[in-house]
Amino acid sequence: MKLASLIGIEAVAFLLIIGETYLFFMAIIPLGPVPHSLAVYTAITLLKVGLTFGLGILWLAVMVSLTRLYVRSRLRTRTPTPSS
Which residues contact residue 73 at a Cβ distance below 8 angstroms, ignoring those fewer than 6 apart?
A: 5
| Domain count across the chain | 1
Instruction: For the full predicted model, state whether its pTM sits above 0.85.
Output: no
> Could you tell me the residue range of the domain that residue 52 belongs to?
4-77
Distance between CA atoms of residues 65 and 62, nearest Å = 5
When pLDDT is averaged across residues 13-34 and rounded to a whole number, the result is 88
| Residue 37 resides in a domain | yes
| Residue 67 resides in a domain | yes
Write the single-letter amino acid at 56: G
Asked if residue 27 has pLDDT above 90, the reply is no
When pLDDT is averaged across residues 17-30 and rounded to a whole number, the result is 91
Question: What are the contacts of 49-56 at 24+ separation with CB within 8 A?
Answer: 51/27, 52/24, 52/28, 55/20, 55/23, 55/24, 55/28
